[in-house]
Chain A
Amino acid sequence: MSAAAQEFLVNAIAKSSDLEHRALIQRGMLSYDAAVVKGKLRFSDWEAARDRCAAVKAEGIANLGRLLIEFERRITQRGGHVHWAENAGQANEYVVELARARNVKTVVKSKSMVTEEIHLGAALEKNGITVWETDLGEFIVQLRREPPYHIVTPAMHLSRRQIADLFRDKLGEDVKDADPGRLVAAARVALRRAFFAAEMGISGANFLVADSGMVAISTNEGNGRLTTTIPRIHVVVAGIEKVIPRMSDLAALWPVLATSGTGQPITTYSTLIRGPRSAGENDGPEEFHVVLVDNGRTELLANPETEEVLKCIRCGACLNICPIFRHVGGHTYGTIYPGPIGSIYTPRTKDLSEWGHLSYACSICTACKGVCPVKIDLPKQLLLTRRDFISGRNVKAAERAGFAAFRWVTASGGRFQLMGWLGRKAVAAVNAFGLSGTALDPMRAWTKYRSPMKFPKKSFRGWWRDNGNR
């Protein structure tokens, strides 16, 4: 078992029995569920909307090279710079060097999963640059020095009381009644100073639009707008799979992303950036850089079976519906991307042996498949990841032997009947000798968390043979 798998089990045990955590998450998810039901009513045909978004993202991936070149050309035409990074190291190196060359002391960041993926914040801080996460949820977990809990609502695991205590300790702001409105106001004041002091703003991108050379950023708080307006340098970091063919595609993608993400018709600020401030504009960044990040995405592309995973628009719907996520929460996974998408993405782009266990932390209930707005067959991807994990010989010899035995036993009805009878006798013996739950009990993995099964004296075959077969 890999170190990551062991850690997962330890965290899962802790969270599974944490009823307070479970209640908090359930509350949040039920409110999300209700919002999405309402949100879907705005569509005359939600399924057609999913089909359309799936088709647009598939088209983007199918034409990835050509669209990225077109995007780059248009950005460059308007005075922006496009930098290509094969991996996290190259991406971070570019941004750090840019910051140093421009005497950047302070950076404000709006929410970007890929910047977490490449640990850009840490790279900047190592070089003496202060980084402020400006999305409220990200700001909160940054103060707590912990990773985001959820890709859309990073601090959903915290109560207002915990956040009030955090603000008192870290910001010196004492919001005595922990009122959410006053907590938000306190964060606004703190981050306002950062926005106006920062020399560089770093954002992600929800979409990179090829036909018009635009970076599309969807936010609700306005931090994405301020990040890309006040500082004199704007850097966009985006995965290469974010490119879409046309601006008109956003007419479907924007509402679908918002509906799946939060149940909203559209996010408050649906922003399109073409580059640095144009001639004659009174404000806006003087410099504009887009860092296109591969970091394993071309691996997914190279495999026809996994290509569809690149359609993901990071809406969080699969996390929200996933019963495993609802019971263990986002931190248990130990990855930047949790939930169903993360359990495929991480083993596939990092290390299958190290992270393959995530693909097993799933009951294949297939609820995620029904909610993915771009129709990724997530359960199928999870099963394929398991298949490849096994063919990579990543399981213990005992499991391989167990399945080899299973194969032998299931080759004929007679053999199956005999081995079943022996098995039931063995379990009965274990119970008779009071060895249930001990190392000698073949059912102990079951009985660790459940009362023992009552094994029947006769199998169905036995019954059929004796009195069933009229």
Chain B
Amino acid sequence: MGTVKTVASPAVNAARENILTRIAKANPDSRTRPVSAGSDALDAIFPAIPNQRQRFLDECAGNLTEVFVTTDAAHSADALALILSTVPAGEVYVQHDPALQPLISVLKEWRTVKLSSEGAPAESIQATVTLAHGFVAQTGSILMSSACGGRGASIVPPCHIVYGRGEQIVADIAAALARVADAIPDASYVGLITGSSRTADIEKILVQGAHGPRRLVVILEG
């Protein structure tokens, strides 16, 4: 590990001890503390969602996530072909997962496909296709992680296509986060992605497509 001071170095430990000592001195147990509201208090903050699927679709319409609703794998493959027909020529990066095989088997014939197992996505890729861990009705978000083809798959390309199933829809952010602890214990990156990349830094005017994907597309099967 090079010549950087590591945690073991005495100088570093001094700063750590100094800060912790100052905190301890500032924060004696004798001061009364408010008790944090439990997570059930969230029911009081957000309204209930009667139809999660409809809510998810409505939110996606609002945050400009394109959604293709399909009935089965063949239908989904058609949807993917349709989407990619509007993506400029260039490599398509696909998460290496059996669930995506049916979708891309035809694709390989007319598009260069690079699998995530072959390495990181190149700067020049035009689109990525990944799975997701879930869909959040409350905000029209997609629960992603680095287990879905790596970190770059959801941020490097101009177009990110997510393939998922209707039963993956969960009610809200709380439910999605609860899933993280159980279902995604090892991934180094986990995140909610809500709509396409955007900025309002110029005169507070909203512009789609800043550094991340300009297009976020969901193929929602079943």
Chain A residues in contact with chain B, CB under 8 A? 27-28, 31-32, 42-45, 48-49, 51-52, 55-56, 58-59, 61-65, 68-69, 76, 78, 81-86, 90, 94, 97-98, 101-102, 134-137, 140, 153-156, 158-160, 163, 180-181, 183-185, 187-188, 191-192, 195-196, 212, 214, 220-223, 225-226, 228-230, 240, 245, 247-252, 254-255, 262, 265-278, 281-284, 292, 294, 298, 301-302, 304, 307
Contact = CB atoms under 8 A, between A and B. Distances in A.
Given A62-B33, A278-B186, A298-B19, A221 B197 contact: yes
A29 B189 CA distance: 35
A251 B172 contact: yes
B119 interface: yes
Given A269-B212, A274-B188, 16 more contacts: A32-B204, A55-B35, A55-B37, A56-B36, A59-B33, A62-B33, A155-B202, A160-B205, A163-B202, A184-B199, A221-B211, A222-B155, A240-B19, A266-B141, A282-B149, A283-B119
Interface stretch (B43-51, B69-77, B82-90, B104-112): B43-51
A140 B200 CA distance: 13
Interface string B200-216: 11111101111111000
B173 A84 contact: no
Given A184-B209, A278-B188, A302-B25, A101 B4 contact: yes
Given A136-B199, A226-B211, A269-B193, A43 B46 contact: yes
B210 A45 contact: no
Contacts of B134: none
B186 A65 contact: no
B41 interface: yes
B7 A81 contact: yes
Interface of B: 2-7, 12, 15-16, 18-20, 22-27, 31, 33-37, 39, 41-42, 44-47, 59, 63, 116-121, 123, 138-139, 141, 146-147, 149-152, 154-156, 172-174, 177-178, 180-181, 186-205, 207-213
Contacts of B212: 221-222, 225-226, 268-269
A429 B42 CA distance: 66
A134 B155 CA distance: 14
A262 B23 CA distance: 33
Contact of B44 (A48, A64, A65): A48
5 contacts: A140-B201, A156-B201, A255-B139, A272-B189, A276-B188
